[in-house]
């Protein structure tokens, strides 16, 4: 399956780890290619601002990794949203993962060398990529903390990791919220992602007349191929349509 070309009627929603960036052994070890922030800045200008990063990473980490690029974004799977005008919409801190759960996870990680706990403002992720044999232990613990019918929190599976996150937020929720406002409103969304949490974003994009692209199926599982597709699209946009001529009915 070849990735589709995109044009000035589209909006891009891009996951981060595993989509724009190669998966690293630990969250802190991720490497950002030096040409990625300028590429995103170029696309942001060519698409009138209709580029959003939608990820499980917290908002502050998104900005640190992609600096100096800043855009609309959804952090922690939609728990925090930033709109094009800089407005932040965030679920209340009272809805964050209880401190007792965080302490239980930290204590377990101390007993299980190689298991890493990634604290987030609202949620918490547990990574066992360095010790995959601990996966069953991690899942038993998080299931004991968060039963399947918990009203406020859910377990979010990821690549050799699991996150405790808000049941009220998802990447689909983030796409819906961002698409309701300029500069996304009226465009055809394309969501690109690689993981379970991205499926809700892809489905929201399809429901809004756009597309959802899985990295494994469309890009051979290779974030470098995603970046090359974005670069090719930026080149085509820059050479075919004047930046001052956005499509009718789409906010610049």
**Which position among 15, 84, 194, 195 bears the catalytic label?**
15
Asked if residue 118 lies in contact with residue 26, where contact means CB atoms within 8 angstroms, the answer is no
DSSP character at residue 21:
B
- Rounded CA separation 48/108 (Å): 47
Catalytic residue at 194? no
Six-digit token string for 139: 């899942």
- Report the run of H or E that residue 72 belongs to, with start and end: strand 72-75
How wide is the angle at C-alpha 164 spanned by C-alphas 160 and 166, nearest 5°? 135
Q: What does the angle CA 236 – CA 238 – CA 243 come to, to the nearest 5 degrees?
A: 135
**Active-site positions?**
15
């Amino acid at each position: 399956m070849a990735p589709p070309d995109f044009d000035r009627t589209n909006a891009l929603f891009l996951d981060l780890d595993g989509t724009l960036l190669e998966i690293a052994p630990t969250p802190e070890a991720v490497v950002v290619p030096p040409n990625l922030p300028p590429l995103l800045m170029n696309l942001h200008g060519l698409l009138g601002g209709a580029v959003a990063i939608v990820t499980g990473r917290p908002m502050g980490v998104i900005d640190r990794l992609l600096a100096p690029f800043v855009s609309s974004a959804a952090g922690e799977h939609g728990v925090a949203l930033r709109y094009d005008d800089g407005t932040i919409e965030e679920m209340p801190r009272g809805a964050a993962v209880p401190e007792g759960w965080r302490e239980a996870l930290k204590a377990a990680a101390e007993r299980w060398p190689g298991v890493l706990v990634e604290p987030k403002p609202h949620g918490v992720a547990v990574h066992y990529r360095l010790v995959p044999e601990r996966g069953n232990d991690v899942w038993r613990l998080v299931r004991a903390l968060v039963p399947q019918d918990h009203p406020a929190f859910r377990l979010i599976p990821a690549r050799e990791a699991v996150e405790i996150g808000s049941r009220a937020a998802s990447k689909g929720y983030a796409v819906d919220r961002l698409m309701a406002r300029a500069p996304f409103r009226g465009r055809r969304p394309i969501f690109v992602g690689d993981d379970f949490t991205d499926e809700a974003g892809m489905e929201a994009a399809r429901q809004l007349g756009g597309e959802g692209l899985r990295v494994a199926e469309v890009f051979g599982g290779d974030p470098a191929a995603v970046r090359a597709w974005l670069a090719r699209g930026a080149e085509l946009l820059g050479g075919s349509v004047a930046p001052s001529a956005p499509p009718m009915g789409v906010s610049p």
